């Protein structure tokens, strides 16, 4: 059993716990490399099916390639796809810096979708190695009634025993790939032959390492035009994955504020 | 061994280590220094940290690297565990930083429970503190055996070899007392860099490994494949015509064709296939760590929490066990407390029968045995309301551990020290014999499917009267109803049971098992039993599964007492009948029964009509005659 097998087995275990212990769950599909791997893992866990909805909280500002990908694979993978809109920018906390404010639309859209469907669990594709506050996450992470994350009072979680009883009206975030790294995602994508959005591959010396909205994501300099080349690049690079994400660089705590308020 | 394959084809073992120790002894600083010395910091991070430190008017602070949260930086403490990766010469290291503050012990445990090894840090000036000892003890309890000790802030004791030896002796003695042998004790200054990646002149007297070298020598987690097979059932899926038993192999291995035993019931079957996706079935042996799905060669009733093992090496079934636990909840754990115990996916209500030992692992002296306080450890004796299959942790570290839940939140956990093997000591070879008839052959004759019709309600609410009327009605229509009255069974099968809560649960369980057996064989089992506990009825529903129909006979209490055909109410009022449901308030009314009937406002015939109607709409009774020929 190699490293990828272990990661896969652990994620499947988490998926099955979430499906078995919560009443109404959905998987957040952002169309990026991580959530595509996540859908793949879920289909492994449930023998080819995704037995719950895939939720795309859509800012309307994704790249055209991403929408094409969604429409194609939503059908091919037979997903119960729910596309939910986000409120306009003026509905969002005006004290946040511009890019963070733009991203916070997603938090609001997420809250609306939660209220609409009454999910008690949301499966999200965040990873510990992406960002320092995500590194502190639990696998089953309880959220308050407002969707907020109370980092000072996270329940103990050990030996793969998860706290799966959210208070009435609140929900849990479930993180089945928290333990994966960016390199793991690519190595697994290659091994399993999971389709990807071509924006991740280099064109004219640039590629996207992380795909967000058009207005707040930038490509990084790279000549990696295949997954193999991406893997070699990641082995050598010291550029952080989210360097192309504008919101991470606005203020010291912009991202933490977003996450405490319910952002992924 | 957990191997990482790199893009150029080489492999490196991956080890997970946790850094623990008393608050302010320098954990986060050491982590920052380690990342820097191994060249693992991303571009711009160092500058960012300098800026963050400057903004707060502080000298450069390594710990800001991991203490990512504002609160942590502002207060200079680590609140929650975090993970970060770096490489030594021969290892890929996942480093888990755990907070030292006593109030965040749950976070330390969350971090340390995932580790293959640990670094225990001690401030050279302050020496061994409560939290140092507490963390040492918890590492031992969590099963972390490889512990490297670092004595930090040697610069503050002028790199004194004597001071180092003093601390080294004290902590080594403490750890060895717990059965943990430190792999190294290393003098360092995390802030200055001595002893972390380099052996500097200032610690020239020290001949052992640096921190990086010590980490390089840690071994990845021990393979579990060599142990006996344990596959706890996580779920049973029926997405298509396959009935797949899903779970993660905790230890041992399995392959299609293996004969297995399902514990605690002790049923025997063979593994027909190992299912997967996108390619299925999969050939070859599946080992510990794999999340698998298997199908069996016969239809057996399984449920979440059952453990699949090989027939000759099954775990023990028990309702009673001893455990060594750590306690994280605000309210101390005391004798008589009701808990929820989880052992893998299996959960059971439990009662603390005795607290045999309770100790604050930080202070070596205090030992008591009344209650286990928050952040303390102890040994307890617990009794379980459902039998579970488990192993002592010395035989199987994966299945020999449990967690304790209070109000839906994990409150403690620990190791199974011993199990008091219950009524059945070892699995017997049970091979259920399936009926010669197919279910559709029976339903074609009786014009109904098998079902368990469960009548619950207060004594004298009219359950037995209704049950008999229904039995007569169904029989007249050519069906095969069978009456199972609670009292009738208590006269024979259940004559060994009294009226304690546990005995009542067992009474209901047996009723449900018998009724379900009849239902599986095409009959309509009509159960009339007070069955006051909601949870017991939930158990019955779980056992009977989709064939269960609950009817709440909701006759008002005063009318029941007025009727009192057996004279029970009278005796209970007189105080000569203990544990009688009706006078007290212990009847828990159903919340989602298939049907509610108040016999004070309906005739028996009307009530029987309603039941019949419900059985039709829920697919038990057929309206039309089934064409027998079509099924042949």
E strands of B470-523, at which residues?
481-485
How many Å apart are CA B371 and CA B332, to the nearest integer? 6
Per-residue CA distances from A104 to A101, A131, A251 (Å) = 5, 17, 15
Ramachandran angles phi, psi of B329, nearest 5°: -85, 150
Touching check for A226 and chain B: CB below 8 Å? no
Cβ A126 vs Cβ A264: under 8 Å: yes
Shortest distance between the Cα of A60 and any Cα of chain B, in A, equals 31
In this prediction, residue B39 carries a pLDDT of 81
Secondary structure letter of residue A155 according to DSSP: P
Split at pLDDT 50, 70, 90, the class of B80 is low
Q: How far apart are CA B157 and CA B166, in angstroms?
A: 12
Cα–Cα distance for residue pair B390/B268, rounded to 1 Å: 18
Report d(CA A52, CA A79) in Å as an integer: 8
Instruction: Report the DSSP pairing between strands B409-421 and B524-528.
Output: unpaired
Residue B41 contacts residue B31 (beta carbons within 8 Å): no
Q: Check if A134 contacts B (Cβ < 8 Å).
A: no
CA of B233 to nearest chain A CA: how many angstroms apart?
11
Contact B515, B485 (CB under 8 A): no
Tokens of B423: 């009524």
The Cα B178–Cα B142 span in angstroms is: 12
B403 lies within 8 A of chain A by CB: yes
Average pLDDT taken over every residue of chain B: 85
Per mean pLDDT, which range of A24-33, B83-92, B384-393 is the poorest? B83-92
Residue B52 backbone phi and psi in degrees, to 5: -60, -40
Nearest Cβ partner for A135 among B84, B304, B408: B84
Are β-strands B548-553 and B11-21 bridged in parallel, bridged antiparallel, or unpaired? unpaired
Burial letters for B220-256: b for 16+ Cβ neighbours within 10 Å, e otherwise? bbeebbebbbbbbbbbbbeeeeeebbbbbbbbbbbeb
Query: Peptide bond before B264: cis, by omega within 30 degrees of 0?
Result: yes
- The band of B432, judged by pLDDT with boundaries at 50, 70 and 90, is low
Q: Which residue of B has its CA nearest to A190?
A: B7
CA nearest to B11, candidates A216, A256, A179, A2: A2
Q: pLDDT tens across B564-600, in order?
A: 887 888 887 877 776 677 665 578 889 889 999 998 8
pLDDT the model gives residue A148: 81
| DSSP assignment letter at B39 | T
Distance from CA of B358 to the nearest CA of A (A): 21
The yes-or-no verdict on residue B176 having pLDDT over 80 is: yes
DSSP assignment of B166-178 equals HHHHHHHHHHHHT
> Given an 8 Å threshold on Cβ–Cβ distance, is A156 in contact with B68?
no
> Across A18-32, A138-152, B358-372, which has the greatest mean pLDDT?
A18-32
**Residue B630 above 70 pLDDT?**
no
Q: Which residues contact B495 (CB under 8 A, 6 or more apart)?
A: none
More confident residue, B572 or B188: B188
| Identity of the residue in A17, A129, A228 whose CB atom sits nearest the CB atom of B7 | A228
Q: How far is B132 from chain A (nearest CA, A)?
A: 20
Q: CB-hemisphere CA count at 13 Å for B168? A: 17
Residue numbers in B near A51 (CB within 8 A): 239
Residue B63 at interface with chain A, using a CB cutoff of 8 Å: no
Q: Burial of B562 by CB count in 10 Å (0-12 exposed, 13-18 middle, 19+ buried)? A: exposed
Q: How far away is chain B from the Cα of A44, in angstroms, using its nearest Cα?
A: 5
Q: How far is the C-alpha of B36 from the C-alpha of B29, rounded, in Å?
A: 11
Give residue-wise pLDDT tens across range B476-490: 888 999 999 887 788
* B contact test, residue of A16, A39, A237, A239 with most B CBs within 10 A: A16
Residues 6+ apart with CB under 8 A from A74: A54, A81
Cβ–Cβ contact A132 with B under 8 A: yes
Q: Would you state the pLDDT for residue A80?
A: 96
Mark which residues 11-30 of A lie under 8 Å from B by CB.
12-13, 16-17, 19-20
* Token pair listed for B157: 């004791």
Work out the pLDDT band at B430, boundaries 50, 70, 90. Answer: low
**What would the mean pLDDT of B457-473 be, rounded to a whole number?**
92
Closest listed residue to residue A177, CA positions, set A264, A72, A88? A264
pLDDT of residue B427: 44
- Taking the CA of residue A85 and the nearest CA in chain B, the distance in Å comes to 30
Average pLDDT of the segment spanning A220-227: 92
Token pair recorded at residue B364: 């070596």
- Of the pLDDT bands very low, low, confident and very high (cuts 50, 70, 90), residue A211 is confident
Extract the tokens encoding B534. 């909601």
Place of tokens 């087995």: A9
* Predicted pLDDT at B235: 96
Report pTM: 0.71
CA distance B423 to A30: 53
Contact criterion met (CB < 8 Å) for B289 and A2: no
Distance CA A91, CA A107 (A): 11
- The residue among B372, B580, B566 whose CA lies nearest residue B463 is B566
Tell me the three state secondary structure of residue B195: coil
Average pLDDT, integer, range A42-54:
96
pLDDT at B102: 60
Average pLDDT over residues A47-54: 95
DSSP B344-373: TTEEEEEEEEEEEEEE-TTSSS-EESSEE-
Answer yes or no: is pLDDT of A209 > 80: yes
> Which two tokens mark B53?
């430190």
- Alpha-carbon Rg for chain A, nearest whole angstrom, is 17
Per-residue confidence (pLDDT) for residue B629, from 0 to 100: 41
Judged by CB atoms within 8 Å, which residues 483-512 of B form the interface with A? none
* Least-confidence region, from B221-225, B282-286, B444-448: B221-225
Residues 6 or more apart from B107 whose CB is under 8 A from it? A154, A156, B79, B80, B81, B98, B99
Is the pLDDT reported for residue B625 higher than 50? Answer: no
Tell me if B332 sits within 8 A of B372, measured CB to CB. Answer: yes
Predicted confidence (pLDDT) per residue in B292-321, tens digit: 999 999 888 889 999 999 988 889 888 889
Q: How many CB pairs under 8 A join A and B?
A: 153
b/e per residue A23-61 (b: at least 16 CB within 10 A)? eebbbbbbbbbbbbbbbbbbbbbbbebbebbbbbbbbee
Of B42, B328, B401, nearest to A156 by CB-CB distance is B328
pLDDT of residue B627: 43
Which conformational region is residue B125 in: left (phi greater than 0), alpha (psi within -120 to 50 degrees), or beta?
A: alpha
User: Which of B85, B106, B239 faces A47 most closely, judged by CB atoms?
Assistant: B239
Distance, CA of B295 to CA of B577 (rounded, Å):
50
Per-residue confidence (pLDDT) for residue B632, from 0 to 100: 37
CB of A185 less than 8 A from some CB of B: no
Using alpha carbons, select from B472, B483, B477 the residue that is nearest to residue B446. B477
Q: Is B176 exposed, middle or buried (CB count within 10 Å of its CB: 0-12, 13-18, 19+)?
A: exposed
pLDDT greater than 50 at residue B631: no
pLDDT digits (tens, 9 = 90+) for B234-287: 999 999 889 999 999 999 999 999 999 998 888 889 999 999 999 999 999 999
B398: nearest Cα among B250, B286, B234: B250
Task: Determine the average pLDDT of the residues in B533-555.
Answer: 88
Residue B381 has pLDDT above 80, yes or no: yes
Query: Which two structure tokens, joined as six digits, stand for B377?
Result: 């450890």
Q: Would you give the DSSP letter of residue B332?
A: P
Q: What is the C-alpha to C-alpha distance for residues A69 and B343, in angstroms, rounded to an integer? A: 42
- Candidates A6, A52, A158, A209: best to mutate against B (most CBs of B within 10 A) is A158
Q: Given a cut of 90, is residue B226 above it in pLDDT?
A: no
């Amino acid at each position: 059993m190699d490293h990828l097998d272990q990661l896969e087995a652990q994620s499947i275990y988490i998926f099955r716990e979430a499906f078995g212990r919560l009443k109404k769950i959905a998987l957040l599909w952002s169309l990026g490399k991580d959530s595509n791997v996540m859908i793949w893992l879920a289909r492994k866990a449930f023998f080819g099916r995704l037995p719950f909805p895939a939720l795309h909280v859509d800012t309307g500002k994704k790249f055209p390639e991403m929408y094409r990908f969604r429409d194609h694979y939503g059908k091919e993978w037979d997903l119960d796809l729910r596309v939910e809109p986000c409120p306009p920018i003026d509905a969002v906390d005006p004290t946040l810096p511009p890019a963070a404010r733009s991203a916070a639309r997603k938090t609001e859209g997420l809250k609306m979708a939660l209220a609409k469907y009454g999910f008690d669990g949301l499966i999200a594709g965040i990873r510990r190695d992406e960002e320092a506050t995500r590194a502190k996450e639990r696998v089953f992470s309880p959220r308050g009634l407002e969707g907020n994350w109370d980092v000072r009072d996270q329940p103990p979680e050990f030996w793969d025993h998860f706290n799966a009883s959210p208070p009435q009206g609140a929900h849990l975030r479930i993180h089945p790939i928290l333990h994966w790294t960016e390199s793991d995602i690519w190595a697994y994508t290659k091994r399993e032959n999971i389709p990807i959005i071509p924006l991740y591959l280099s064109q004219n010396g640039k590629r996207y390492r992380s795909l967000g909205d058009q207005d707040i994501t930038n490509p990084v300099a790279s000549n990696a035009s295949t997954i193999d080349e991406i893997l070699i690049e990641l082995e050598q690079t010291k550029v952080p994955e989210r360097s192309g994400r504008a919101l991470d660089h606005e203020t010291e705590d912009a991202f933490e504020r977003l996450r405490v308020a319910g952002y992924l | 061994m957990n191997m990482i394959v790199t893009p150029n084809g080489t492999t490196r073992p991956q080890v997970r280590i946790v850094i623990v120790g008393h608050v302010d002894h320098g954990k986060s600083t050491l982590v920052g220094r380690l990342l820097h010395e191994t060249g693992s910091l991303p571009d711009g991070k160092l500058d960012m940290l300098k800026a963050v430190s400057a903004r707060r008017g502080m000298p450069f602070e390594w710990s800001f690297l991991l203490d990512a949260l504002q609160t942590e930086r502002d207060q200079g403490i680590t609140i929650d565990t975090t993970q970060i990766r770096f490489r030594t010469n021969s290892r890929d290291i996942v480093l888990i930083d755990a907070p030292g503050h006593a109030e965040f012990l749950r976070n330390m445990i969350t971090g340390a429970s995932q580790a293959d090894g640990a670094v225990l840090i001690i401030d050279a000036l302050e020496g061994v503190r409560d939290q140092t000892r507490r963390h040492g003890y918890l590492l031992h309890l969590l099963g972390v055996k490889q512990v490297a000790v670092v004595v930090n802030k040697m610069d503050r004791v002028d790199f004194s070899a004597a001071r180092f030896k003093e601390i080294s002796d004290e902590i080594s003695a403490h750890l060895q007392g717990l059965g943990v042998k430190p792999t190294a004790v290393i003098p360092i200054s995390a802030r200055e860099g001595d002893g972390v990646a380099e052996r500097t002149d200032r610690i020239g007297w020290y001949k052992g490994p640096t921190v990086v070298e010590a980490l390089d020598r840690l071994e990845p987690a021990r393979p579990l494949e060599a142990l006996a097979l344990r596959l706890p059932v996580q779920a049973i899926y029926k997405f298509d015509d396959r009935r797949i038993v899903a779970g993660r192999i905790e230890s041992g291995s399995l392959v299609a064709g293996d004969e297995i035993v399902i514990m605690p019931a002790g049923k025997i079957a063979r593994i027909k296939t190992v299912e997967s996706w996108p390619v299925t079935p999969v050939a070859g042996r599946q080992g510990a760590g794999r999340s698998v799905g298997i199908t069996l060669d016969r239809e057996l009733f399984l449920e979440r929490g059952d453990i699949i093992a090989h027939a000759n090496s099954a775990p023990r079934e028990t309702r009673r066990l001893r455990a060594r636990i750590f306690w994280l909840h605000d309210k101390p754990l005391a004798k008589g407390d009701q808990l929820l115990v989880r052992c893998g996916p299996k959960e059971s209500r439990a009662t603390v029968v005795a607290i045999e030992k309770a100790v604050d692992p930080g202070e070596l002296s205090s030992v008591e045995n009344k209650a286990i306080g928050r952040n303390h450890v102890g040994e307890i004796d617990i009794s379980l309301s459902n039998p579970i299959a488990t192993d002592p942790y010395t035989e199987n570290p994966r299945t020999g551990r449990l967690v304790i839940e209070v109000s839906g939140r994990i409150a403690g956990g620990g190791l199974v020290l011993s199990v008091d093997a219950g009524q059945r000591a070892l699995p017997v070879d049970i091979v259920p014999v399936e009926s010669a008839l197919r279910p559709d052959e029976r339903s074609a004759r009786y014009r109904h499917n098998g079902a368990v019709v469960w009548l619950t309600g207060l004594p004298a609410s009219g359950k037995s009267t209704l049950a008999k009327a229904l039995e007569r009605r169904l029989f007249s229509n050519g069906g095969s109803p069978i009456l199972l009255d609670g009292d009738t069974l208590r006269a024979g099968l259940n004559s060994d049971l009294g009226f304690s809560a546990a005995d009542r649960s067992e009474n209901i369980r047996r009723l449900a098992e018998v009724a379900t057996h009849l239902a599986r064989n095409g009959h309509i089992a009509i159960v009339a039993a007070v069955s006051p506990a909601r949870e017991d009825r939930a158990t019955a529903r779980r056992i009977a599964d989709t064939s269960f129909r609950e009817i709440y006979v909701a006759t008002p209490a005063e009318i029941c007492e007025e009727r009192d055909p057996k004279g029970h109410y009278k005796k209970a009022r007189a105080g000569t009948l203990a544990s009688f449901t009706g006078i007290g308030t212990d009847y828990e009314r159903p919340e989602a029964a298939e049907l509610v009937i108040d016999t004070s406002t309906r005739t028996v015939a009307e009530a029987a009509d309603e039941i019949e109607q419900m059985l039709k709409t829920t697919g038990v009774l057929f309206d039309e005659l089934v064409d027998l020929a079509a099924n042949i």
